[in-house]
Amino acid sequence: MSSEPRPRDPQCLFCRIVAGEIPADVVAEDEQALAFRDLEPQAPLHVLVVPRAHYPDIGTLAHGDPDALVGVARLAAKVAADENGGQFRFVFNSGRQAHQSVFHAHGHVLGGRDMTWPPG
């Protein structure tokens, strides 16, 4: 792991959750990511997985720290394995039009019911 400090935005809700300043129902964590239950679940399993570092969306995360993006995906798979037999949908919203409401990269782990297609 790099000795450089991780990017952080003190005004960002998810940065504050990662820092422990705001409580969350954390279900898993590791060096690169944190997973916690969504406050407005859209499925029986709805967990958000965020990188510990602040990147506004998945594109900037992929360019800025691809290893952290892999860490987010790895933690999402662990959550799904622990809570839903490994079956899940993993969704990233990127930008306002895509319905991103918190501008800290995060993936939604959804499961526990049949998923429809196409989504949205």
Q: Which residue has the tokens 């997985």?
A: 49
Instruction: Compute CA 60 distance to the chain's CA centroid, rounded to the nearest angstrom.
Output: 14
Give the C-alpha separation, 58 to 47, whole Å: 17
Q: Identify whether 118 is preceded by a cis peptide bond (ω within 30 of 0).
A: yes
Quick one: DSSP state of residue 102? S
Give the C-alpha separation, 10 to 36, whole Å: 19
Catalytic residue (choose from 46, 54, 63, 106): 106
Is 54 marked active-site? no
First to last CA, the chain: 37
Residues acting as catalytic residues: 106
